[in-house]
Amino acid sequence: MTNYNDSAHHFMKLALKQAEKALLRDEVPIGAIVVDKDGTILSRAYNLVQKKKSPLAHAEILAIEKAAKKIGDWRLAECTIYVTLEPCSMCMSVIDLSRISKLVFASKSSKYGYKINEALIFNRNRSKLKIVENILADDSIKLLQNFFKKKRKKTSERKKIVRSS
The answer to whether residue 60 is catalytic is yes
Beta 102-107 vs 130-132: how paired, if at all? parallel
CA–CA distance, 135 with 139 (Å, rounded to integer): 9
Catalytic residue among 60, 65, 78, 157: 60
Angle, CA of 10, 13 and 16, to the nearest 5°: 155
With b for 16 or more beta-carbon neighbours within 10 A and e for fewer, the 35-60 pattern comes to bbeeeeebbbbbbbbeeeeeeebbbb
Q: Which residues are catalytic?
A: 60
